[in-house]
Amino acid sequence: MKFIPLPFYQLNRLRGTYSIFAKVNAIIIGLLFGYVTKSPYVGSAMAIGYLAGESMGWGDWIGQQNGSPLQCGNEGEKNGIKWLASKFANCGTENYNKIALVIRGFYWWTPTLIPLMFVMNPATVLLAIIALSFGFQISQDWTGSDGEKSWNDAEYIYGGIQDVVLLLLIGAFYL
């Protein structure tokens, strides 16, 4: 297999600024995994899953880790994240924001990667979902809380984490 450089290092940052890049990322993931698995159904399902999972916001939780005042806003009310995260920490606290981001990552990557469970080891896919669920919070922790700059840097790092995890999934598929 030839090395396939993945572009999510840059594309994740662009996705954070311009919503059209969410569609670009979805198409790339769909084409890539459709090709790797030799299944257009898996690729299509992953692209649709990416769009469905990516579409929910998480700006309040990130912003509050980057200097915005802590508050208990409306973010996550409609999709249950607020309810679930509040079971682990009080809404409007730093811990609540971190937990909400991890849950939000789980919501994003679960529908994206579930189709792979039909063509490869489900435990490997589950590990990838968990890694990507924690990925943005890890990237936030690495970049600190320097406002917009930290947010931008975290999106680059998270894109790099996506590259690594997706490359590992491709490698695991061929094992």
Q: Where are the domains of the chain?
A: 8-174
Q: Which pLDDT tens digits describe the chain residue by residue (175 residues)?
A: 444 555 655 555 555 554 666 778 888 889 989 999 999 999 999 999 988 887 666 667 776 766 666 667 776 777 788 888 889 988 878 888 889 889 988 988 999 999 999 999 999 999 999 999 998 888 888 876 665 666 677 777 788 888 889 889 999 998 8
- What is the model's pTM? 0.82
pLDDT tens digits, 139-170: 888 876 665 666 677 777 788 888 889 889 99
Residue 124, classed as helix, strand or coil, is: helix
Q: CB-side exposure of 74: number of CA atoms within 13 Å?
A: 1
> For the chain, how far is it from start to end, CA to CA, in angstroms?
11
Going from the C-alpha of 149 to that of each of 48, 53, 67, 98, the distances in angstroms are 30, 25, 11, 18
